[in-house]
Structure 1
Amino acid sequence: AAIVGTLDRVHWQSPPAPIKAPGDGAPIALPADATLPARVQASANDTNPAKIPPLSLDVADLQFGKARLGQAVLRTRPFGNGLSVDRLQFRAPRQAIDIQGRWLGMGTAATTHVEVKVDSEDLGGLMQNLDYGGQLRGGQGQITLDAGWAGGPSDFQLGALQGRMQVQARNGQLLELEPGAGRVLGLLSVTQLPRRLMFDFRDFFSKGFAFNQVGGTLDFADGMATTDKVLIEGPAANISIRGRTDLRRQQFDQTIDVNPRAGNLLTVVGAVAGGPVGAAVGAAANAVLSKPLGQIGAKTYRVTGPWAEPKVDVIDRDEAPPAAAPAPVVR
């Protein structure tokens, strides 16, 4: 029979991080009063998903670790050699997350596949709720993920992900703070540009980069997140990111094209040269000449190296490498 539950509140505390052996083979240093259980960490692969009874759970207020997920609904059923998640949804003010998926097999034969759809009127607030705050303010949009990995649900690792993610967002602001999930998209590369270089339009990033649209597709395979274009359209500049992110080694290999918007350049130049009148003339000139002047100050950057300290080099447009071919999607 199904396990049915209706709960007002579930606050699930995150378990402590598993103890890892030092890379140089040295013994693990433990506090004097520390004790280890017989099994430090059990794997979900020890469970046969086909033996889990149907679950029908409704939670009015769900919090998992620091992630405040709001109202939650879960519906599952066993089938064949696995478990089908027919409905897993989270609802919070201005946020909606819907998940479907399957967990098949045991041990080394276990696999997990999920389809995730996120629809948000405040992506910055959503990332704050998921403990990824500080990289985005505001923004509305959708994120979809169709992907899988070897092992059970608890064996999820970014480096093992196989599939595709699509992002469409509008009317937000990228902040000049250390990102979390933004590293995968390459947004860390963008926020690092003004820190590493003195370039013509660094003032665009002084208090974060406002954007009108952000859109792109990421393919996950063989430990890589690959894109042929993540496009950020802003009132100050248009930015295009292409290349790869090594999720296992946490390394960038990306090319970023930055094209200042002509209207901003002309207005700024006019204001410096002739004050308010010059700014007005510049804005008027932009209406006529915006297209040919749109490339003024455009630059291409090569971003390589580790996430924490990426290396940023200016390259000529003619030297920019071709867009990386999307990695194959394994389903």
Structure 2
Amino acid sequence: DVPEARFSATGNWAPLSGAAGASAGEQRRTALSFRLDVDDSGALLTRFNRPGLVRGGKGRIEGSVGWIGSPLAPDYPTLSGQLQADFERGQFLKVEPGAGRLLGVLSLQALPRRLALDFRDVFSDGFAFDFVRGDARIEQGVLFTNNLQMKGVNAAVLMEGTADLAREQQDLKVVVVPEINAGTASLIATAINPAIGLGSFLAQFLLRQPLQSAGTQEFRVSGSWADPQVTKVDRTPPAAPARAPAGALQ
């Protein structure tokens, strides 16, 4: 433990065969279940020589992961598992592209030049969040999520897609939903069920919220973490179901 955080974990380092009398040269697999409780994410990153990436941020990351090889050296090509994160009250700070690695992906500083003017100030100096939460699974070193949610003062940000931890690349769908009516963006950013995912939920929600739908912007973020490629996706507002003609049988 350190003043900013507490880490607990259980696990094993076992032969792949599972045999008790495995040979000394046989490959072993590390399996780990863990929980990290953080009181100040920025201070914790500074302790590990990564200052200036986040300010504040209290929360937790927990899950289970495994890989082939030593517990002291995670092997990304064989890494698998699942994670859940939930943080509140913090800010992703402005950094040079690539400096923050995966945190740089979350900070969304590649978006401002593609955003309408009313959104640009939300991201250009680092996104300040009320909360960041979501679930992810990892398969062969690639992280998949369909319900990553971030809520700020003026907007909610929803993400789904992949991040390749070994190659440091991403392929993400990013949806920015404006806060028009107090609490509406908060609702959309807390109601996504991982079993349904972002796409289906968003279509249903925006159909019932025409003002939110009109202001919502969607992007595809691809390429490397150091040089993300951002493409604005033209959105067609969802059409309301056609009404039956007057007098028609229901």
Q: Give 3-state SS (helix, strand or coil) of 1:127's partner.
A: helix
State the match for 1:313 in structure 2: 231
TM superposition score normalised by structure 1: 0.56
CA contact (8 A) 1:108 1:151 kept: no
1:179 to 80, 85, 100: 100
State the match for 2:6 in structure 1: 96
Output the CA distance in 2 between the equivalents of 1:108 and 1:251: 32
The one-letter amino acid of 1:179's match is G
State the match for 1:210 in structure 2: 128
2:151 to 233, 252, 268: 233
State the match for 2:60 in structure 1: 142
Greater Cα radius of gyration, structure 1 or 2: 1
CA contact (8 A) 1:142 1:169 kept: yes
CA RMSD of aligned residues (A): 2.2
Alignment of 1:164-313 (within 5 A): 164-177=82-95, 178-182=99-103, 186-188=105-107, 190-194=108-112, 196-200=113-117, 201-262=119-180, 292-313=210-231
State the match for 2:242 in structure 1: none
Give the Å deviation of 1:247. Answer: 2.3
Unpaired runs of 5+ residues, structure 2, are 16-23, 183-208, 238-250
Q: Give 3-state SS (helix, strand or coil) of 1:294's partner.
A: helix
Output the CA distance in 2 between the equivalents of 1:159 and 1:202: 37
The one-letter amino acid of 1:250's match is E
Unpaired runs of 5+ residues, structure 1, are 1-89, 265-290, 320-331
Output the CA distance in 2 between the equivalents of 1:172 and 1:192: 19
Residues 270-322 of structure 1: CA distance to partner in whole angstroms, max 9, x if unpaired?
xxxxxxxxxxxxxxxxxxxxx65334532000111111111101102349xxx
Output the CA distance in 1 between the equivalents of 2:166 and 2:3: 35
Q: Does 1:110 align with 2:28?
A: yes
Residues 242-279 of structure 1: CA distance to partner in whole angstroms, max 9, x if unpaired?
00112232221110000121169xxxxxxxxxxxxxxx
Q: Give 3-state SS (helix, strand or coil) of 1:262's partner.
A: coil
TM superposition score normalised by structure 2: 0.72
CA contact (8 A) 2:102 2:225 kept: no
Aligned residues: 199
The one-letter amino acid of 1:199's match is A
Relative contact order: is structure 1 or structure 2 higher (C-alpha 8 Å, sep ≥ 6)?
A: 2
CA contact (8 A) 1:103 1:110 kept: yes
Residues 170-201 of structure 1: CA distance to partner in whole angstroms, max 9, x if unpaired?
11111121313425xx415x22212x435331
